[in-house]
Amino acid sequence: MPSSDQPRVMIGIPAYNEQHHIADVVRSAARFGTVVVVDDGSQDLTAYRAQKAGATVIRFTRNHGKGAAAATLFEEARASRVDFLVLIDGDGEHDASEIPSVLAPCLNGKADIVVGSRYLSIRNDIPKRQNVRQRMFNALTAMASGVRCSDSQSGFRAFNRRAIASIHFDETAFSVESEQQFEVRRNGLRLTEVAITCTYDTAAAPSAWHHYAVILYRLGAMTWRRRVLGVGEIKPIEVVAPERVTSPVAGAKVEHR
């Protein structure tokens, strides 16, 4: 945890059925800031294990989607008036020890948003099919949004106060990462990238095509709305006010939504 004279950093972790990884992710991330986990309606022990590892947990009673979880983390960051927000996935594929590297350009005032890119490093053994699909989405998202990024679907990102205040989401699914490039353009934000490492859970591969199909559909919808129709101001996702309850884990809290 940072001392009072250091920047206030919140580590936000969207999670869905990640009971096998979430505790390790929380403990690793907690070295660099206050950890908040949004349990997106998990049907396993994700919330319990995140609490036990020391995180503040916001729990949805049903699955809303990664975009809704990200919107809630931004809402929490704004309410907490933190200086920086770091998003990292809860599946253990990212290395939380790289948080300082991802955060550095924001800390140094060189960027408003930093994307941890798997494609700026030769250390990542990216599955061939995923590599092809990802590079296709990078190109499509860049053309649609007008903002280039070598890893448009990376869930490992950092944001400064300007970005936290100005970014709002309309997407509820995994397309939330692509939407951020549209928000960068809309708000005139500075985006940069840093290389990160990543490990892959090949057991998740069967659902990959559905995952990318959803992103492709939503990318088309975003392009039509924002670039063709010229709708600049979006209506942010509405999040129901939580009921705060006392957590059985000392120093943690749980919110049910």
Which pLDDT value is given to residue 173? 64
Give the contacts of 71 (CB within 8 A, at least 6 positions apart).
168, 169, 176, 236, 237, 239
Residue-level pLDDT at 131: 72
- Note the pLDDT of residue 141: 78
What number of other Cβ atoms are within 10 A of residue 23's Cβ? 22
**pLDDT-derived band of residue 244, with 50, 70 and 90 as boundaries?**
very low
Confidence of residue 132 (pLDDT cuts 50, 70, 90): confident
Give residue-wise pLDDT tens across range 137-188.
Answer: 778 878 887 899 999 889 999 999 999 999 998 866 656 788 888 899 999 9
**Statement: residue 44 has pLDDT above 50:** yes
Question: What separation in angstroms does the CA of 233 have from each of 66, 170, 230, 237?
Answer: 21, 10, 9, 13
Q: Alpha-carbon distance 10 to 66, whole Å?
A: 18
Q: What is the pLDDT of residue 137?
A: 76
Q: Residue 238 pLDDT more than 50?
A: no
pLDDT of residue 5: 75
Per-residue pLDDT, averaged over 95-117, amounts to 97
The pLDDT score that the predictor gives to residue 229 is 45
Q: Are 55 and 78 contacting, i.e. CB atoms less than 8 angstroms apart?
A: no
pLDDT in tens, 77-87: 999 999 999 99
- Burial of residue 238, with CB atoms counted within 10 A of its CB: 0-12 exposed, 13-18 middle, 19 or more buried: exposed
Q: What is the pLDDT of residues 176-205, one digit of tens each?
A: 788 888 899 999 999 999 999 988 765 544
242's tokens:
């939580």
For the chain, give the secondary structure using H, E and C: CCCCCCCCEEEEEEECCCCCCHHHHHHHHCCCCEEEEEEECCCCCHHHHHHHCCCEEEEECCCCCHHHHHHHHHHHHHHHCCCEEEECCCCCCECHHHHHHHHHHHHCCCCCEEEEECCCCCCCCCCHHHHHHHHHHHHHHHHHHCCCCCCCCCCCEEEEHHHHHHCCCCCCCCCHHHHHHHHHHHHCCCEEEEECCECCCHHHHHHHHHHHHHHHHHHHHHHHHHHHCCCCCCCCCCCCCCEEEECCCCCCEEEEC
Percent of the chain with pLDDT over 70: 70
**Strand ranges of the sheet holding 9-15, from the earlier edge strand across to the other edge:** 191-195, 113-117, 157-160, 84-87, 9-15, 34-40, 56-60, 253-256, 243-246
CATH ID of 9-236, from 3.90.550.10, 3.40.640.10, 3.40.50.150, 3.40.50.2000: 3.90.550.10
pLDDT score, position 219: 59
What does pTM read for this prediction? 0.80
pLDDT digits (tens, 9 = 90+) for 18-34: 999 999 999 999 999 99
- Give the percent of the chain with pLDDT over 90: 54
